[in-house]
């Protein structure tokens, strides 16, 4: 498992003010390593000058490459694009906003040398992480691990090392909706974890709004498990049985001559049943829309331009 070439993949969306600083940090680490390195920046359809910044670096340093996607495809797809372009025996992915400290890279490599095929990372929160973000991510992991069939490392991030073999395995998964962390857990192999301290974003704004996190959670759950459908079945059964018991009660009352006015109970029943039906049909709808997405089998992303020659 001799490491001869390392690829570092960085998805970037509106990170013009971070590229310089991030690259300086990366450069320090790369210079301390003995293997050949390449850095692949994926510009995910940024609206600012991110790609110009990447080009500048790529002109100056031979080992820096840039890929510009034709529009914003989202973090997960940008990551995938980078992985497809990377040619190293070992590939490390990290964010473009310096929240994933490049200083941890040697530690990841050390773990790889100990025989791990995939080295995930776990974030230890510092005070700079907002209360809301902490709470929402805790909830996210509880939900995803309860509802899906795979284990996702809590407080993990898309900051990880993967060997060539596991990247190829990952790339052989042809799904359209890709929840990277779930898929990486799904492929198996020998996986290890390294802890790191999260730093605040160097500059710029997080593009993960609460809405996007919610989408990622739904995506993560529905792409890794059909448990919500099973839960719908249980819910439906529960309400059916309760309904039956209630029906017996009403019929008894009818024969016993007890006349109930009934307005409140009817309204409550209608509201609850209506709500449950809507909920269940939207869960089914969520899966139908996934089938729809898969059947279209469009390319996952389009590349508008890239800096070099050498990457495929």
- Binding residues (CB under 5 A) for Mg ion: these are 95, 97, 99
- Residue 54 binds ligand UDP, judged by CB under 6 A: no
Name, in order, each residue with C-beta under 8 angstroms of 95's C-beta and a sequence gap of 6 or more: 10, 11, 157, 158, 159
Residue 123 to residue 100: CA distance in whole angstroms:
9
Q: How far is CA 311 from the centre of its chain?
A: 25
Residue with tokens 């939207």: 282
Residue 68 to residue 306: CA distance in whole angstroms:
6
Q: Name the segment binding ligand UDP (CB under 6 A); options: 68-76, 216-224, 247-255, 261-269.
A: 68-76
DSSP state of 47: S
Q: Where are the alpha helices (DSSP H) in the chain?
A: 16-32, 50-60, 75-85, 105-113, 131-147, 164-171, 180-187, 210-224, 227-255, 263-296
Residue 96 to residue 14: CA distance in whole angstroms:
9
Cβ-closest position to ligand UDP: 206
- Residue 62: CB minimum distance to ligand UDP, A: 23
- Residue 199 binds ligand UDP, judged by CB under 6 A: no
Q: Which is nearer to Mg ion, 99 or 222 (CB)?
A: 99
Q: Name the segment binding ligand UDP (CB under 6 A); options: 92-100, 147-155, 176-184, 265-273.
A: 92-100
Q: Which does 150 bind (CB under 5 to 8 A by kind): Mg ion, ligand UDP, none?
A: none
- Residue 141: CB minimum distance to ligand UDP, A: 14
- Residue 75 binds ligand UDP, judged by CB under 6 A: yes
Q: Convert residues 202-221 into a mask of x (bound to ligand UDP by CB under 6 A) and - (unbound).
A: ----xxx-------------
Q: Which residues bind ligand UDP (CB under 6 A)?
A: 11-13, 15, 44, 72, 74-75, 78, 95-97, 99, 206-208
């Amino acid at each position: 498992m001799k490491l001869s070439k390392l690829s570092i993949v960085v998805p970037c969306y509106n990170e013009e003010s971070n590229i310089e600083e991030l690259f300086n940090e990366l450069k320090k680490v790369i210079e301390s390593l003995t293997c050949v390195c390449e850095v692949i920046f994926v510009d995910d359809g940024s609206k600012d000058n991110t790609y110009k910044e990447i080009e500048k670096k790529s002109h100056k340093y031979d080992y820096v490459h840039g890929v510009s996607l034709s529009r914003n495809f989202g973090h997960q797809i940008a990551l995938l694009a980078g992985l497809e372009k990377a040619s190293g025996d070992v590939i490390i992915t990290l964010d473009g906003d310096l929240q994933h400290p490049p200083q941890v890279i040697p530690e990841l490599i050390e773990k790889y040398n100990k025989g791990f095929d995939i080295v995930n990372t776990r974030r230890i929160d510092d005070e700079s992480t907002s209360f809301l973000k902490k709470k929402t991510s805790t909830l996210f992991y509880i939900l995803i691990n309860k509802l899906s069939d795979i284990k996702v490392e809590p407080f993990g991030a898309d900051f990880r090392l993967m060997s060539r073999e596991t990247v190829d395995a990952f790339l052989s998964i042809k799904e359209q909706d890709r929840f990277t962390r779930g898929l990486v857990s799904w492929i198996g192999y020998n996986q290890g974890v390294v802890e790191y301290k999260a730093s605040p974003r160097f500059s710029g704004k997080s593009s993960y709004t609460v809405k996007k996190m919610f989408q990622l959670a739904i995506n993560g759950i529905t792409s890794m498990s059909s448990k919500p459908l099973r839960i719908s079945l249980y819910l439906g059964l529960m309400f059916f049985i309760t309904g039956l018991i209630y029906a017996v009660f009403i019929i008894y009352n009818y024969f016993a001559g007890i006349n109930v006015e009934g307005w409140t109970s009817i309204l409550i029943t209608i509201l609850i049943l209506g709500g449950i039906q809507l909920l269940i049909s939207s869960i089914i709808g969520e899966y139908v829309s996934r089938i729809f997405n898969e059947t279209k089998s469009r390319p996952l992303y389009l590349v508008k331009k890239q800096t070099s020659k050498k990457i495929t």
